[in-house]
Structure 1
Amino acid sequence: MFIRNTWYVAAWSHEVESEALFARVITGIPVLLYREEGGGVVALEDRCCHRGAPLSVGRREGDCVRCMYHGLKFDSTGTCVEAPAQQRIPPQAKVRTFPVVERHQWIWIWMGDSSLADPETIPDTHWLDDPQWRSLPGYIHYNVNYLLICDNLLDFSHLPFVHPTTLGGPEDYAKVQPKVERIDGGVRITRWTLNTDAPPFAAAVKNWPGKVDRWNFYDFTIPAILRMDSGMAPVGTGAQEGARVDAAEFRGCQALTPETENSTHYFFGHPHNFAIDQPDVTRAIHQAVVDAFDEDRDIITAQQRNLALDPGFRMMPFGIDAALSQFRWTVNQRLEEEKRQMPEAVRGA
């Protein structure tokens, strides 16, 4: 069961090319994305209303798409405008359309009630294309439920154990408890680790005179959007007071989009504001993040396999789980709210 009335990231802008048809399953629904001749993005249900064939294996004809099973043609509003050998087209011959907004290199899609789709509620991720920041686009496909990945992103204690040579640090990094606050639609995490070693990925791209003061502040909001201010500065230079002297700063932008109950699209960028004229630094930071996220995928995939062997297993909460527990509570509350708002006939279906 997925939250419907929210904005999901459907794709990076570069994935939906001019003249091409791009298919992706989002919250269990097949979606076709393509660009109109003017460059705007169209999102249709990737399922012909006639026999259910995927339109994504069809043919572009201007701003329309022709199903290559029986030749029905649909315009960008999802309306069937041509049916070979049939002059009268049934008025109900349509495929569903979805609101889409392209912003800061991400294409956002609304899978629920289109009348509620307010672009002003899309989270700000401007660092992804801000000229004062540099990053590369990332995407990973997971064969796990998206909430297990949410758990991982809300948990710092795993970093020195799963990522000892990438994003992690010494094991004392796991002992520092973050401040967890509930915010509208999610949680806010504040975490300081003072007088610690720079993690390997940061040590590889910047010279440090010694130990560092390290921070991680982020909002994690529905459906599963992480926006993080993280970084480190030489120890004792006033970072806690807001003076980021000779610091390495990052603005992580991550989005989890459920594909199905047991698979997930993971979009991410890790913008930095130092050495922005050195592409090799950007590539090194990006690769360190990719390597770390691959490490996450390995352990979370193994976790899901284990959980699937015993559907009755109940995880035992620890104090380190405060953030992920609060986020799961927020998700459940939103799901219950949407369920209450459904027509009775749909709820009983």
Structure 2
Amino acid sequence: MFVKNTWYVAAWSHEVGPDALFSRVVTGSPVVMYRKEDGTIVALEDRCCHRGAPLSVGRREGDCVRCMYHGLKFDSAGACVEAPAQQRIPERAKIKRYPVVERHRWIWIWMGDPALANPDAIPDTHWLDDPAWRCLPGYIHYHVNYLLICDNLLDFSHLPFVHPTSLGGSEDYAKVQPKVERIENGVRITRWVLNTDVPPFAAAVKDWPGKVDRWNIYDFTLPGILLMDSGVAPAANGAREGTRVDAAEFRGCQALTPETETSTHYFFAHPHNFALDRPEVTRSVHQSVVAAFDEDRDIITAQQRNLSLDPDFEMMPFGIDSALSQFRWVVNQRLEEENQARQPSAKES
């Protein structure tokens, strides 16, 4: 089961070109996306109402799309407007149209009740296209349940062990207990590690005089959105008090979108606000993140494979699991609320 009444990232803007049909499965439902002639995004159910063929292997005709199985043509609202050799089109001949918003290089989609789709609820990710920041777009496909990836992102104590040569740094990072706070629809996690070794990814893009102070402060909210203020600054230079002199600052933007119960789309970027005139720095930062996320995928995929061997296995909670537990509680609460909303009342039944 997935939370439906929330905004999911469906694609990077560049993935949906001006003329092509782009398909992606989101929360178990096939979606076809394309741009109208004015450039705005359309997201429709990628399944013809006639025989269920995918429209994504069909043909664009202006702002419409034609199914190339039996030739039905659908407009951008999802209504069938033409059926070869048939003048009368059944009133029920239509497919779902999903609310969609393109903002800061991400295309957001609402898979639930369209009446509840409020664009103001979309998280702020302006760093993705802010001229004061630089980043490259990232995408990874996982063959695991999205909640296992959420667990990974909610507990950064794994960094020195899974990412020793990329994002990790020294093992003292794992010994620091983060501050975990409940916020609306999720949790906020704050971790400071003072007077520590420079992590490899930061050493690759900037010279440092010695030990550093390091921080990761991020919100993790439904359905699986991580927005992070992170960075590295010379030790004892006042970074924790707000003075980020000679620092390397980042604004991580990550989004998990379930494809199915056992597969996930992972969108990410790691904007930085230094060395903006040096594209090689942006490439280095991006490659360090990609390498680390590939390492995450390796261990989480192995975890998923191990868990599938024993469906009755129960994970043993540790103190470091506070954020994980709280976020899963938020997910379960929202699922329960949506399930109850779908149930007919006693009066109706």
CA distance in 1, matches of 2:155, 2:224: 14
Q: CA-to-partner distance for each residue in 1:30-70, whole Å, 9 max, x for gaps? A: 00000000000000000000000000000000000000000
Give the corresponding residue for 1:24.
24
Does residue 145 (structure 1) correspond to residue 133 (structure 2)? The answer is no
Query: One-letter code of the match for 2:264?
Result: T
Secondary structure of residue in 1 paired with 2:14: helix
Q: How far is the alpha carbon of 1:156 from its aligned partner? A: 1.3
Answering whether residue 280 of structure 2 is matched by residue 280 of structure 1, we say yes
1:42 matched to 2:42:
yes
Specify the alignment match of 2:290 in structure 1. 290
Corresponding residue for 1:198? 198
Following the alignment from structure 1 to structure 2, what is the Cα–Cα distance between the partners of residues 302 and 136?
Answer: 28
Is 1:222 the counterpart of 2:222? The answer is yes
> Which one-letter code corresponds to 2:291 in the other structure?
D
Separation in 2 of the partners of 1:97 and 1:57? 18
Partner Cα separation in structure 2 for residue 184 and residue 338 of structure 1: 17
**Cα shift readout 1:248-278 (whole Å, capped 9, x = no counterpart):** 0000000000000000000000000000110
- Percent identity, aligned pairs only, is 80
Please give the alpha-carbon distance, in whole angstroms, between the structure 1 residues aligned to 2:123 and 2:164: 31
CA drift of 1:172 comes to 1.1
Which residue is 2:73 aligned to?
Answer: 73
Distance (whole Å) between structure 1 residues aligned to residue 242 and residue 3 of structure 2: 37
Quote the offset at 1:198 in angstroms.
Answer: 1.2
CA distance in 2, matches of 1:76, 1:286: 36
Query: What is the match of residue 212 of structure 2?
Result: 212
Equivalent residue runs for 1:107-146 within 5 Å? 107-146=107-146
Q: Which amino acid aligns with 2:163?
A: H
Counterparts of residues 246-285 of structure 1 (less than 5 Å): 246-285=246-285
Separation in 1, partners of 2:255, 2:172: 28
* Distance in structure 2 (CA, Å) of the matches to 1:173 and 1:91: 61
Distance in 1 (alpha carbons) for counterparts of 2:251 and 2:177: 21
Provide structure 2 residue ranges, at least 5 long, that are not aligned to the other structure. Answer: none
Query: In structure 2, what is the Cα distance between the partners aligned to 1:177 and 1:328?
Result: 20
Please give the per-residue CA displacement for 1:15-36, whole angstroms capped at 9, x wherever unaligned. Answer: 0000100000000000000000
Distance in 2 (CA, whole Å) between partners of 1:56 and 1:234 is 52
**2:182 matched to which residue of 1?**
182
Supply the AA of the counterpart residue of 1:83: A
Query: Normalising to structure 2: TM-score of the pair?
Result: 0.98
3-state SS of paired residue (1:330): helix
Runs of 4+ aligned structure 1 residues displaced above 3 Å come to none
How far, CA to CA, are the matches of 1:15 and 1:297 in structure 2? 22
Q: In the aligned structure 1, how far is the partner of 2:174 from the partner of 2:47? A: 47
**Aligned length in residues:** 345
Structure 1 runs not aligned, ≥5 long: none
Distance 1:337 1:184 in 2: 15
Q: Residue 313 of structure 1 aligns to which amino acid in structure 2? A: F
Aligned-partner Cα distance in 2 for 1:269–1:232: 18
Amino acid at match of 2:299: I
- Please give the residue correspondences for 1:304-319 in structure 2 after superposition, counting only pairs within 5 Å: 304-319=304-319
Q: Distance in 2 between matches of 1:31 and 1:107?
A: 13
Q: TM (normalized to structure 1)? A: 0.98
Q: 1:232 Cα shift? A: 1.1
5 Å matches for 1:158-169?
A: 158-169=158-169
SS at match of 1:218: strand
What is the SS of the residue equivalent to 1:301? helix
1:94 offset after TM fit, Å? Answer: 0.1
Distance in 2, Cα, partners of 1:156 & 1:3: 25
SS in 2 for 1:239: coil
| Distance in 2 separating the partners of 1:126 and 1:323 | 26
Distance 2:177 2:128 in 1: 29
SS at match of 1:167: coil
RMSD (Å), alpha carbons: 0.7
Give the letter aligned to residue 275 of structure 1.
Answer: A
Can you list the C-alpha shifts for 1:199-225, whole angstroms capped at 9, x where unaligned?
000000000000001111000000000
The answer to whether the aligner puts 1:100 opposite 2:84 as a matched pair is: no
**CA shift for structure 1 position 343:** 3.5
